[in-house]
């Protein structure tokens, strides 16, 4: 009988962790040391999706799946859960959270499903809090390991669901202006770095809330700007190289002019009326 691909992968992981002839690096890992690799693999999946290269995506998804198999193997060695238990838990959760598919409940549209999904999650969190003998925590379950901008968006979105939110977009913009003013005051006063850091954090949190109010993913927005900055700075370097120089040897005025050149070229390319 042919071995299923997932079973073969589980067997490979077991061999890698086998004290007799396994891989020394794999054998010395634990949950804490593997966690950063899992985060990295998730980002590489996102990059592969953005690239549109399905072959690369296939490989990256395999790497991410391998992370789950790695955790399952380490847990099984300690007498804990295994891969099948992970799969069962995921299956049960998806069935539980989709009663309109696996039960008799009706859902009108995707928005209604999103609300129902969050309601199910809130009920589960409430049960966990009660089991721990504590009050319900609105913000519980939002991982601290998330990128700070993603977590800011999720925290504010969760709080908004219980009514803790600015009433309008204009109110958020006013908050951004307030936080920027406070940051400027601390900087001008020569405040300790810790206080300036605190004000900058408040400013970034307010900007993340503006994105949320406008239904914009702040992480995606910043990622796009990072790509744009990289692209335009590469143009600056290329044009300087054509002149036989480098950014280190050029002055800011020259680089700024080339930056604006790149910006103008992008604007022209994006214009529907552009004739090239």
Give the per-residue pLDDT at 128: 61
Q: What is the CATH number of domain 148-216?
A: 1.10.287.1080
pLDDT > 70? residue 153: yes
Select from 217, 209, 225 the least CA-distant residue to 170: 209
Q: Which residue has the tokens 């300690």?
A: 78
User: Tokens standing for 88?
Assistant: 């069962």
- Three-class SS of residue 274? coil
Summarised one tens digit per residue, pLDDT across range 50-73 is: 889 999 999 999 999 999 999 999
Q: What is the mean pLDDT of residues 30-45?
A: 94
Runs of H (alpha helix) within the chain: 5-16, 24-27, 31-51, 54-77, 83-96, 99-102, 110-131, 148-161, 169-188, 193-213, 218-242, 252-270
Contact criterion met (CB below 8 Å) for 216 and 209: no
Pick the CATH number of 5-96 from 3.40.640.10, 1.10.287.1080, 1.20.1740.10, 3.40.50.1170: 1.10.287.1080
pLDDT > 60? residue 230: yes
Summarised one tens digit per residue, pLDDT across range 80-138 is: 999 999 999 999 999 988 888 887 777 776 676 767 666 666 666 666 655 666 677 88
* Reported confidence tier of residue 145, pLDDT bands at 50, 70, 90: confident
- Contacting residues for 81 by C-beta, under 8 A, at least 6 apart: 72, 75, 89
Give the per-residue pLDDT at 275: 40
Domain boundaries, the chain: 5-96, 99-131, 148-216, 220-270
pTM flag (> 0.75): no
Give the per-residue pLDDT at 66: 97
Give the per-residue pLDDT at 104: 73
DSSP 74-119: HHHHTTS--HHHHHHHHHHHHHHT-HHHHSS----SHHHHHHHHHH
The answer to whether domain 5-96 and domain 148-216 are alike in fold is yes
């Amino acid at each position: 009988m042919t071995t299923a691909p997932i079973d073969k992968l589980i067997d490979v992981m077991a061999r890698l962790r086998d004290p007799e002839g396994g891989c020394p690096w794999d054998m010395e890992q634990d949950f804490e040391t593997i966690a950063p690799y899992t985060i990295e693999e998730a980002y590489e999946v996102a990059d592969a999706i953005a690239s549109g290269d399905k072959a690369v995506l296939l490989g990256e998804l395999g790497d991410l799946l391998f992370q789950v198999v790695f955790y399952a193997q380490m847990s099984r060695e300690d007498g804990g859960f295994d891969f099948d238990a992970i799969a069962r838990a995921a299956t049960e959760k998806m069935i539980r959270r989709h009663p309109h598919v696996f039960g008799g409940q009706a859902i009108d549209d995707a928005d209604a499903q999103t609300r129902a999904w969050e309601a199910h999650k809130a009920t589960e969190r409430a049960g966990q809090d009660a089991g721990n003998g504590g009050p319900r925590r609105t913000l519980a379950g939002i991982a601290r390991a998330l990128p700070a901008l993603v977590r800011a968006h999720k925290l504010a979105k969760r709080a908004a669901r219980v009514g803790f939110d600015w009433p309008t977009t204009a109110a958020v913009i006013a908050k951004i202006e307030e936080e920027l003013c406070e940051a400027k005051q601390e900087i001008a006063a020569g405040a300790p770095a810790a206080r300036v850091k605190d004000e900058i954090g408040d400013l970034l949190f307010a900007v993340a809330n503006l994105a949320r109010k406008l239904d914009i993913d702040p992480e995606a927005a910043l990622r796009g700007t990072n790509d744009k900055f990289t692209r335009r700075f590469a143009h600056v370097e290329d044009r300087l190289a054509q002149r036989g120089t480098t950014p280190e040897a050029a002055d800011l005025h020259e680089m700024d002019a080339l930056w604006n050149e790149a910006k103008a070229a992008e604007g022209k390319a994006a214009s529907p009326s552009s004739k090239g």
